[in-house]
């Protein structure tokens, strides 16, 4: 960790960056993950590094689809594992969703490192990619999934998704909820629900929202979803990146 004082204006941002660097050093995050993070940082800067109303609305919709899901699954890559391991474990527990490792750059060692990392943070089961179950419409390493996980899921929560797989999951009839700071990415556009916020801020809020809505009647959850428009949310987010409001 760095020795920055809390009063440093970039204290939070630089500590998040340190977490990604630590992820690379531990073999959890790929070196490409640093570039992904840099892109995220740039968009976070543009939205003022805070959770905006469009994210809060998307968090409510994501909570509702996770609570209504029959087989929700949380897909974890190297960046998410480095940034929010405790929150991913808590989210899995509260939404009854297994965690499943799924990474773009093929590496058995890194898949294992992510699994161990999540277990160290309290996960009981972490599903791994298999050759028995493969996603259609996709050619990368991300097509290999677990038959009881992403393969049979009706809702997949995928922070920091790549556009190709988001599209493939949607074509397979699954709902996708994602966290992506770039409102223009293909992922953001293709997902059912896009939370345009830093995953570090969004996950605790999502967990809190699920706790709040856990006893809510399904009719109320369905209403939250029916009122939600991902397109409008992305327009608001895009406007915020351009005008600051």
Interface with ligand ATP (CB under 6 A): 36-37, 39-40, 43, 83, 160, 162-163, 179-182, 185-187, 198-199
Q: Name which of 82 and 221 has its Cβ closer to ligand ATP.
A: 82
Rounded to a whole number of angstroms, the distance between the first and last alpha carbons of the chain is: 33
Are 205 and 59 spatial neighbours (Cβ–Cβ below 8 Å)? yes
Spatial CB neighbours of 87, under 8 Å, sequence gap ≥ 6:
203, 204, 207
Closest distance to ligand ATP from the beta carbon of 40 (Å)? 2
Neighbour-count burial of 60, counting CB atoms closer than 10 A to its CB (0-12 exposed, 13-18 middle, 19+ buried):
buried
- Please say which residue, 105 or 112, places its beta carbon nearer to Mg ion: 105
CA distance 51 to 63: 16
- Cβ proximity to ligand ATP: between 113 and 138 the closer is 138
Q: Which residues contact 84 (CB under 8 A, 6 or more apart)?
A: 159, 199, 200, 203
Q: How far is the CB of 77 from ligand ATP (least distance, A)?
A: 9
Least Å distance, CB 207 to ligand ATP, is 16
Position 180 contacts Mg ion (CB under 5 A): no
Output 183 or 221, the one with its CB closest to ligand ATP: 183
162 binds Mg ion (CB under 5 A): yes
> What one-character DSSP code corresponds to residue 197?
S
CA atoms within 13 A on the CB side of 210: 22
Binding partner at 39 among Mg ion, ligand ATP, none, C-beta below 5 to 8 Å by kind: ligand ATP
State the minimum distance, in angstroms, from the CB of residue 162 to Mg ion: 4
Q: Which residue, 115 or 194, is less far from ligand ATP as judged by CB?
A: 194
Shortest CB 189 distance to ligand ATP, Å: 8
């Amino acid at each position: 960790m760095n020795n920055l004082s809390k009063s440093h204006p970039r204290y939070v941002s630089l500590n998040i960056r340190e977490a990604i660097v630590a992820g690379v050093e531990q073999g959890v995050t790929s070196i490409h993950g640093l570039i992904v993070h840099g892109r995220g940082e740039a968009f976070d800067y543009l939205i003022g590094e805070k959770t905006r109303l469009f994210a809060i609305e998307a968090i409510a919709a994501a909570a509702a689809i996770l609570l209504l899901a029959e087989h929700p699954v949380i897909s974890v890559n190297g960046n998410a594992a480095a940034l929010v391991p405790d929150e991913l474990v808590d989210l899995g527990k509260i939404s009854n969703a297994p965690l499943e490792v799924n990474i773009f750059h093929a590496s058995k060692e890194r898949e294992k490192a992510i699994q161990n990392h999540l277990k160290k943070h309290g996960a009981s089961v972490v599903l791994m990619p298999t050759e028995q179950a493969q996603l259609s419409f996709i050619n990368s390493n991300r097509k290999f999934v677990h038959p009881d996980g992403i393969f049979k899921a009706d809702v997949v929560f995928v922070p920091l998704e790549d556009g190709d797989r988001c599209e493939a999951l949607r074509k397979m009839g699954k709902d996708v909820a994602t966290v992506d700071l770039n409102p223009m990415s293909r992922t953001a556009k293709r997902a059912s629900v896009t939370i345009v916020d830093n995953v570090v801020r969004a996950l605790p809020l999502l967990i809190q929202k699920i706790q709040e809505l856990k006893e809510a009647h399904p009719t109320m959850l369905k209403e939250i979803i029916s009122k939600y428009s991902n397109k409008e949310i992305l327009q608001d987010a895009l406007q915020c990146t351009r005008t600051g409001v």
